[in-house]
Structure formats: structure tokens, C-alpha cells
Amino acid sequence: MDIHKAYCSSPIGTIEITGNEEGITTLNFIEKTTADTPDRVLNPVRDKTKIHHSLKECIQQLDEYFNNSRKEFDLKLNPEGTEFRKKVWDKLVKIPYGKTKSYLDIAKQMGDANANRAVGNANAKNPICIIVPCHRVIGNTGELVGYSGGMWRKEWLLNHENCAVFGKQTVLF
């Protein structure tokens, strides 16, 4: 099955989306551009007629999320990963907008409080950022830890969602 790519602009950088008829496979920030970077990365396509139909809805929902008109995504997802990682990612999708969970919370939900390091590893390997909201996972004592897109993006996303961390308003910058 063919994998298709699309790019979209966001307030926190250019996002590359890949997917096929089975669903979205990856969603990641593009950090650096090179001489070989296609022009569409530097100037993301906004003409949806040029975007494969399997990715159009994702771009629309991301636009709505960044414009504060969407709090939940309704997309077919098809991430590649181990069964354990997929179970963790399924838990992440259930963290509500504006809320956070700790690695320990998720490990307990999975039935093994000792698995919080494994949960952290699965969180770090999440191939579909924002939609599978790994940015909503924080350290066990409420500290902000790790985010593959950069801590500044994690802070931005939590502020965007007006997250409360252990009863405190998250004003991070």
C-alpha cells in the first residue's frame, strides 16, 4: 500500500504527515531543511486538491486544533509499533484535552505500576505526535519531562490546551 506525505504549517513549526488508506502512520515536526528539502516543506501546500485524500482530513483537524475549535481528533490511525507500545498509545489518546497524566498513572492503568519506564519509552517512540498526545504525559511529581519535538513545543501545547498540572495552571513561558 502506498504511503503518502503532506506538510502543514503550525504555530510551532512545519509538520510532516504520512499515511495511507489504513490511516495516519506518522506526524512529526520537521526540524531542519536542506538543499534537498522539497519546496512544499518550506512552503507547505494549502491547496487541498494537491494533497492525497487520506491526509486531507488530518490537515483540516490540525488546523482546527491550532485555531482552538477542536479538542478531540477523529481520524483513522495506523502507527507501527510493538503491541505494548500500541497499548500505551491507546491510553494516551484517552487523555482528555486540557488534562495531563503521569507515566505512573498510565502504567497503573495498564495493570503494572512498575512499568512506568517502559511506558516512558513507548511514549518517546510515539510516531504520531499531537493526535496521540504524548505531550500530555508528565513526570510522576508533576515536572515536565521529555518531548521528541522539543520541550518548548511541549510547553506550548500544554499552554495552548490550558492544561492544569496537579491543580496548578500551567503557565510555562
Is 58 tagged catalytic?
Answer: no
- What are the tens digits of pLDDT across the range 93-114? 999 999 999 999 999 999 999 9
Which domains can be identified in the chain, with CATH numbers?
4-66 (3.30.160), 83-168 (1.10.10.10)
Please identify which of the residues 8, 129, 134, 163 carries the catalytic annotation. Answer: 134
Q: In whole angstroms, how far apart are CA 73 and each of 94, 105, 133, 144, 171?
A: 11, 22, 10, 23, 24
Which whole number is the average pLDDT over 161-170? 58
The three-state DSSP-derived secondary structure of 36-85 is CCCHHHHCCCCCHHHCCHHHHHHHHHHHHHHCCCCCCCCCCECCCCCHHH
* Per-residue pLDDT tens over the stretch 16-33: 999 998 999 999 999 765
Q: Of 26 and 54, which is predicted with more confidence?
A: 26
Task: Tally the residues of the chain.
Answer: 173
